[in-house]
Amino acid sequence: MATETVTCTVCELHAEAIFRVEGMDCNEEVVILERRLKPLAGLEALSADLIGQRLHVKYDAAKLTTSAMVDAVGETGMRMWLESEEPMVGGAALDSRRKLMLICGGLLLVAALFQAEGLPRAAMAFYVAGTTVGVAFPARRALTAARSRILDINVLMVIAVIGALALGDWPEAASVVFLFAVAQWLEVRTMEGARQAIRALIDLAPREALVRRNGREERIPVDAIAPGDEIVIRPGEKVPLDGLVIGGRSDVNEAPLTGESRPIDKEPGDEVYAGTINGRGAMEVRVLRFGRDSRLSRIIHLVETAQAKRAPVQSFVDRFARIYTPVVLALAVIVAAVPPLVAGAEAATWIYRALVLLVIACPCALVISTPVSIVAALSAAARHGVLIKGGASLERLASIRIVAFDKTGTLTKGELTVTDVAVVGRASALDVIRLAAAVEARSAHPVAAAISRHAQALLPD
């Protein structure tokens, strides 16, 4: 897919670029990116795809360069590059969050064991180590958010940890850090599940194709194939690109795209689509569209766009959190300061209570729960072959009272089976099944496979 296009107008040089962003795992990072990039001179518009970790930017190439945007994002602690420059390696954030959670949990457990054995100094050393390791990541994100004038979850967590350390309560600080690491791991894990569902769609089409040029056949990457090229699709192979059959006949399984279990016979003049599976015959196909314009690519684009759309309840929660977070912070300051100053109460006690309020009232669960639940539902549905057009459509399911299903492949398994054998003449049904199974024994056609399975069930010998 092309990731940077430039079009000239009379006075300006407009451009578009698609970037990959490592570290963009929740809406807070999207807000930080917007705050950092929007002040750049020449930036016209940007939109984020949280699921795909993409950033689509429109800008004036005469005033702004892609390298300047990459450098600006680097200042936030995230890493960005043009989509065409480097392949996206999935799972890195998930692995790092899991390691962080396990290390924090392990250090906290060892500290608790030492404390139970009456070794407070050894326990303190492990509490300090667990807190130091666990707070590093949220502290870096909190600093970035503070520079962008954003009060997010990381800021509140760091304030709570600093307060616990000021009171000398290291077990509390280590516990808060560990629980926050668990919450962050769960969020990234759910997001990575949604991304895996998208990658499964992308993997439906092969990366290479057998192309016939100048009387020779060679395998080349799909991205290097243009409309008009002739490709050869052998039996059992996946169709790499949309095209028109110009030679050969075969049956094609289009279930990956349509869900229809019955194979479709293809002959010269018929179209075949990327991601479908060729049957028993070889075909020669003239390519009609680039890989990025195939029907499968359009489906993938629709899914990515749909999952990037925010549900109404998610937008409401985000707006609420922007007001709620400063209010919680201000209320914690009041709880910590007013009783000691006005009533002469013990300062340490009320600071501790303010920290408890800060942790309990932190909108972490509120803000995370909505996008995580929506993404979890979308990804779970995608893994089972159901594509939902974003959180808004998912939310509307609550008001639906009647559902109409397409039976084949939805309410059924999408697999052909023999239900009845109608015999004409004096032959018995078993004889007909035996003869049919003998004829179809070496065929890979779905109908033949159904006959063979039926025969094996009735005639074990």
Q: Looking at the annotation, which residues are catalytic?
A: 406
Residue 378, both tokens? 């979308």
Q: What are phi and psi of 301, to 5 degrees?
A: -60, -40
What is the spatial distance between Cα 233 and Cα 243, in angstroms, rounded to a whole number?
Answer: 11
Question: Which of 140, 157, 151, 175 minimizes the C-alpha distance to 355?
Answer: 157
Residue 122, both tokens? 């050894």
Q: Backbone dihedral region of 23: left (phi > 0), alpha (psi from -120 to 50 degrees) or beta?
A: left
Question: Which of 287, 253, 246 minimizes the C-alpha distance to 267?
Answer: 246
What is the spatial distance between Cα 14 and Cα 192, in angstroms, rounded to a whole number?
Answer: 34
Half-sphere exposure of 15 (CA within 13 A, CB side): 18
Laid out side by side, the sheet with 250-253 consists of 264-266, 250-253, 277-278
Does the CA dihedral 83-85-90-95 come out positive or negative? negative
